[in-house]
Amino acid sequence: MVNLGDIFPNFKAETTIGSIDFHEWLGGSWAILFSHPADYTPVCTTELGRVVQLVPEFSKRAVKMIALSCDDVVSHKGWSKDVMAYAKQSGDFPYPIISDKDRSLAVKLGMVDPAEKDAAGLALTCRAVFIIGPDKKLKLSLLYPATTGRNFAEILRVIDSLQLTASKKVATPVDWESGKPCMVVPSLSNEDAKKLFPNFTKVDLPSGKEYVRMTTEY
């Protein structure tokens, strides 16, 4: 398992854009690696199609995208035409898909869904999401079972939070969206908070403790 803050493990893989060394492919960019159980399956088709539609949003945030499943590259290339048609998009498929036929990456990265098996009885990959920072460290991970499709609007929302909190001493509250008020991080003293966020406000609570400190400027 990869833990938050770990350097994401490097690997070599076959993909729809040829062989890659993952760290070389990352360069110094933010990236999302997301796995799905299998090609030519309905939920996966909706998910990869949604990501195709959201390419401009990922590009705006300078996040490289790469998908992964257990099928081979020939299968990925054939299926990606269905994904484009389903998503009503034209042109080349806009991001690479890794082939993990022997499940070595699925095992290495903790992405196996034991409940879902292929025709040969081999476990499939679950719906994992890894968001990796420019320092190649894991910033966020999600694991969904094969039977539950992900919400990529939520994934863009967490990328906004991750990118903001990487450089500012704020944390984003429940259901936060870009531009909405944030909280000053608990580790910052009131004195330092005043310097960074001159207009921050404290929320009155029964305990009298001033731990909920909001700022609209960040």
**Contacts made by residues 207-211, CB under 8 angstroms, sequence distance 24+:** 211/186
> Least separation, in Å, of the C-beta of 214 and ligand BEZ?
41
Q: Give contact residues for ligand BEZ (rule: CB under 6 A).
A: 37-38, 41-44, 116, 146-147
Cβ at position 211, least distance to ligand BEZ in Å: 43
Q: 99, 17 in Cβ contact below 8 A?
A: no
Determine whether 182 is an active site residue.
no
DSSP H helices, the chain, are 22-26, 42-53, 55-60, 73-86, 104-108, 152-167, 190-196
Give min distance, CB of 150 to ligand BEZ, in A: 11
Q: Is 41 left (phi over 0), alpha (psi -120 to 50) or beta?
A: beta
Closer residue to ligand BEZ (CB): 33 or 146: 146
Considering the candidates 39, 44, 70, 100, report the single residue annotated as catalytic: 44
Beta strand 182-184 with 170-171 is antiparallel
Specify the residue, 10 or 147, whose C-beta has the smaller distance to ligand BEZ: 147
Measured from the CB atom, the residue of 44 and 131 that comes closer to ligand BEZ is 44
Burial 204-217 (b: 16+ CB within 10 A, else e): eeeeeeeeebbbee
From the candidates 6, 118, 135, 192, which is the catalytic residue?
Answer: 135
- Residue (42 or 206) nearer to ligand BEZ, CB: 42
Least gap, CB of 106 to ligand BEZ (angstroms)? 14
> Mind telling me the catalytic residues?
44, 135
